[in-house]
Amino acid sequence: MKLRNKKTGEIWDIGKVLVNDYPCWETLTQICEDWEDVKEPLIKDEKIRKAVRAWAEVNSIKTALYSERPNKSLCQLTDMGDEDYDIQFVGWIPTLKDGEEYTITELCGEEEE
């Protein structure tokens, strides 16, 4: 598990946070005051994440529906807004569930600054 320091933006493994001598936390509440969870993107392939993020930015998409085609090696993300935009990939994305809706942040991780 990775945590982001709310003040500095540094990302550390939770083990490093917990064994760090300074500052010393006595409760989980104190840790949560200084650190927040960093969620790993559901799409592990960096090239696919870049393509999905670019598609979402160009089409102003915030959420997408993941669907698989059982009779061929194909998956697609479809815009959940008023428009009908989709992006398709050969193969499946094993970390996603057919018929589930995801935010672009869940799929691709947080945007790098």
pLDDT score for 81:
79
Contact 55, 47 (CB under 8 A): no
Q: How far from 75 is each of 56, 94, 108, 112, CA to CA, in Å?
A: 16, 10, 16, 26
* Close Cβ partners of 96 (under 8 Å, ≥ 6 residues apart): 42, 43, 66, 75, 102, 107
Is the pLDDT score of 50 beyond 90? yes
H/E segment holding residue 86? strand 86-90
**Alpha-carbon gap, residue 19 to 1, rounded angstroms:** 14
Q: Supply the pLDDT for residue 113.
A: 47
Could you tell me which residue, 14 or 98, shows the higher pLDDT?
98
Q: pLDDT (tens digit, 9 = 90+) per residue, 74-88?
A: 788 888 877 788 888
Domain boundaries, the chain: 2-38, 46-108
Give the whole-number percent of the chain exceeding pLDDT 70. 94
Q: Is 18 helix (H, G, I), strand (E, B) or coil?
A: helix
Convert the pLDDT of each residue in 93-107 to its tens digit: 888 998 999 999 999
